Structure 1
Amino acid sequence: MRIEKVKAQLEKQKLDGIIITDKINWRYLTGFTGSNGWLVITENSTKLFVDGRYTEQASLQTNNIEVIEASSWSDIGSVLGSIVKNKRIGFEQQTISYEKFLLLNQLMRTNLSELIPTMNLVETLRMIKSESEIVALRKAAAIADKTLTDILPLLSAGMTEIDVANEIDYRSKKNGSEGPAFETIVASGTRTALPHGHASQKIIKDNELIMIDFGTIYKGYYSDITRTMAFGSVDQKIKTIYVKLLAAQEKAIANLQLNQPLAEIDQLVRKELASSDLDAFFSHDLGHGIGLSCHEFPAIAKTEKMTLQKNMTFTIEPGVYLPNQFGIRIEDDILINENGKAEVLTKFPKNWSIIQ
């Protein structure tokens, strides 16, 4: 079914075929989870080129796909040349390496073919989740929630940020995650002002903020959650800004509706923050798609024209970062369900919290 949807897109874009080089995209389309390969889809055939490490794996993981063992570019080129001859073939401009592009471009010229860049052709299909994908995303979110529940009682002054990050990674695997979704972020004190302040050897102290941003993976599907909490007593200014940021996030979620341009969601939050002169300290997009990768198409950004559709999943994660002072981010994973309503998948509490 997914391959057929790609073929329909090829027809719309007047392409005779496409070469898929993004490993997440070929996993989505075929089930193959290997790290090296070429997936070639035309109107009449679907061929997956893999090296000898993956021949058996690819055969086991795929159905109705011709698996071709190819240990070198010459092996691929000898088969691919006849497939692309005198045709318009798309390629994924965002993920192909320059080295592969040069090889492919030369092959196309030799075979009097035209190489056409494509943008988000498969990613647009991935954007709308199936029932089984949603089940996996719910589970990934539940693992993240449980991990946060497990980790908070373990926190104490004197631990380093890396100590906490390691505990999160360990506990999330114990709870069923296939691994960290990305390098776990733990930042404390003034380091919370760094939007992606990766865990360091800084010692966590009493009476400062701590920001935790991590994700889990279940059956290949990701969660992504951020919570910012006080580690003891902190300045009232921090709580005041936290409450305003949380109100903006919750308003954005409450106002989500079908066919709403994603740019409007981002702009709503910025308008809310502007009422408290905080918008200048919100330095990134409001969110991103989430699924087989942690950051996927589309972005919830002020220039994104894509609209909300049923079974889309994405994050809403506004942040305020005051340089050399502190930063706050609150992030949840959202599903637009079959009824067109917004459902928050990550359920760990996000009211102002003080860890004693």
Structure 2
Amino acid sequence: MPMLSNNEEQSAPIKEIYKEIDQYKDQIVSNISRIVRCKSVMEKSQPGKPFGQGPYQALQIALEISRELGLKTADLDGYVGYAEYGEGEDYVAVPVHLDVVPEGTGWTVDPYSGVVKDGKIFGRGSSDNKSPAIAAIYSLKILKDLNIKTKRRVRVIFGTNEETGMECLDYYFKKESLPLYGFSPDAGYPAYNREKGIMSLYLEKDTNELARCTDISSIEAGNAFNVVPEFCTVTFNTPYKDDLEVLSDISKGEPGKVYYINERYGKVIASRGTPAHGSTPEDGLNAIAVMLEYLYEKLPNIKECGFLNFIWNKIGYEPDGASLGIAMEDSLSGKLSNNLGLFS
């Protein structure tokens, strides 16, 4: 909900809105916790559930809450839905999203508990973007309760694929007309009027370089392209020897370090990074870069692997694409962001 100053000069409608917000406070908190408890990370598509069970379930929860509050709703084949208030031919869009990025590690509470502690709701998606989604629903409810007439319809659109491709909105606009205008409560307060675009680029090479130059059988990292990877795992064909600490769980390791997993001189090592959103890679520590730095120090022959050379020398730890030759910036948007999110 907007943070408005509560003073004597406020108009009567604003004062009434404050009263309504206070009336629904416990409900709002309860429903935020309810939807946070839904693990809405993208999964394998199922019939009627294009982005998997979690995002579909979150969409159904949002629609159910909206219907309980007396709002008009629609479900567009499990891709996207909306709640709406008002009349008229045109509408204003308020797009929110109910999907989340993977929870990662290091939580002091269950990331899908929606627990309330010290006046805050804890859980994956509690900020991005489930709380704003619930607040938007209740904004429509308050307009309805107070019988405030709007010049056009106001529609809260529930996306379920914002974090991994925006296919939900692609589908929406195949089914629905464009809004007259819109705004999304998915940024800093009070308002942002621009956002960087995004390009997901997949680099693939069919090569036996690893097998020819090293004893490595696989390198695996990341679970979403828009998240800085927290872990990177390397598996060798035969036992690998080095002076590394042994861990049973890499999430217990220190960021920036490499460890044996489960046994000393075993076949599996892993690096620990620090996760961050892919739009701000400078806030994290990429576990892929940590691992490549280690491997290039320990395995001389790895320098014969052209593909890995490209990844290490042209991307590495850089968050801005400088060595790729794509670095750029402007005074409004800042620097280009470049994130190596997946490796397999």
Q: TM-score, normalised by structure 2?
A: 0.28
Q: TM-score, normalised by structure 1?
A: 0.28
Larger Rg, first or second structure (1 or 2): 2
Higher strand share: 1
Higher helix share: 1
